[in-house]
Amino acid sequence: MKRHLLSAADLGRDDAELVLQTAAELRELADRPIKKLPALRGRTVVNLFFEDSTRTRISFEAAAKRLSADVINFAAKGSSLSKGESLKDTALTLEAMGADAVVVRHGASGAPHRLAHSGWVRSSVVNAGDGTHEHPTQALLDAFTLYRHLGSTDGGRLRPGSLEGRRIAVVGDVLHSRVARSNALLLRTLGAEVTLVAPPTLLPVGVGTWPVETSYDLDAVLPKADAVMMLRVQRERMTGGFFPTPREYSRRYGLDGRRMATLQDHTIVMHPGPMVRGMEITADVADSDRSVIVEQVTNGVAVRMAVLYLLLGGSEPAVGGEE
d(CA 50, CA 103): 11
Q: Spell out, one character per residue from 28 to 47, where the chain touches other proteins: x when CB under 8 A holds, - when not.
A: x---xxx-xxxx--------
**SS3 at position 4:** strand
Break the chain down into helix, strand, coil percent, rounded to 5.
40, 20, 40
Of 5, 11, 20, 26, the one binding other proteins by CB under 8 A:
26
Per the omega criterion (within 30 degrees of 0), is the bond before 211 cis? no
Q: How far is the CB of 235 from other proteins (least distance, A)?
A: 40
199 close to 252: Cβ distance less than 8 angstroms: yes
Give the nearer residue to other proteins in terms of CB position, either 18 or 58: 18
Of 151, 160, 313, 321, the one binding other proteins by CB under 8 A:
313
Q: How far is the CB of 296 from other proteins (least distance, A)?
A: 22
d(CA 266, CA 302): 24
175 close to 204: Cβ distance less than 8 angstroms: yes
- For position 322 contacting other proteins by CB under 8 A, the verdict is no
Q: How far is the CB of 18 from other proteins (least distance, A)?
A: 6
- For position 297 contacting other proteins by CB under 8 A, the verdict is no
- For position 22 contacting other proteins by CB under 8 A, the verdict is yes
Question: What's the distance, Cα to Cα, between the start and end of the chain in Å?
Answer: 8
d(CA 57, CA 100): 17
Stretch of 57-65, 101-109, 233-241, 315-323 contacting other proteins, by CB under 8 A? 315-323
- For position 15 contacting other proteins by CB under 8 A, the verdict is no
State the burial class of residue 33 (Cβ atoms within 10 Å of its Cβ: 0-12, 13-18, 19+): exposed
Q: HEC profile for 171-192? A: ECCCCCCHHHHHHHHHHHHCCC
Residues whose CB falls within 8 Å of the CB of residue 205, separated by 6 or more in sequence, listed in order: none
Give the nearer residue to other proteins in terms of CB position, either 13 or 36: 36
- Sign of the CA dihedral 87, 88, 93, 97? positive
237 close to 177: Cβ distance less than 8 angstroms: no
Give the nearer residue to other proteins in terms of CB position, either 36 or 247: 36
Q: How far is the CB of 88 from other proteins (least distance, A)?
A: 30
- For position 318 contacting other proteins by CB under 8 A, the verdict is yes
Q: How far is the CB of 21 from other proteins (least distance, A)?
A: 7
Give the nearer residue to other proteins in terms of CB position, either 28 or 89: 28
Q: How far is the CB of 248 from other proteins (least distance, A)?
A: 49
Residues 112-171 that bind other proteins (CB under 8 A): 155-157
Of 9, 15, 21, 70, the one binding other proteins by CB under 8 A:
21
**Residue 216 φ then ψ, to 5°:** -105, -5
Q: How far is the CB of 141 from other proteins (least distance, A)?
A: 17
# residues contacting other proteins (CB under 8 A) = 26
Give the nearer residue to other proteins in terms of CB position, either 43 or 290: 43
135 close to 128: Cβ distance less than 8 angstroms: yes
What is the signed CA dihedral for 166, 6, 197, 57, rounded to 10 degrees?
A: 100
- For position 25 contacting other proteins by CB under 8 A, the verdict is yes
Give the nearer residue to other proteins in terms of CB position, either 31 or 289: 31
Residues 53-92 that bind other proteins (CB under 8 A): none
Which positions lie near other proteins, rule CB under 8 A? Answer: 18, 21-22, 25-26, 28, 32-34, 36-39, 155-157, 309-318
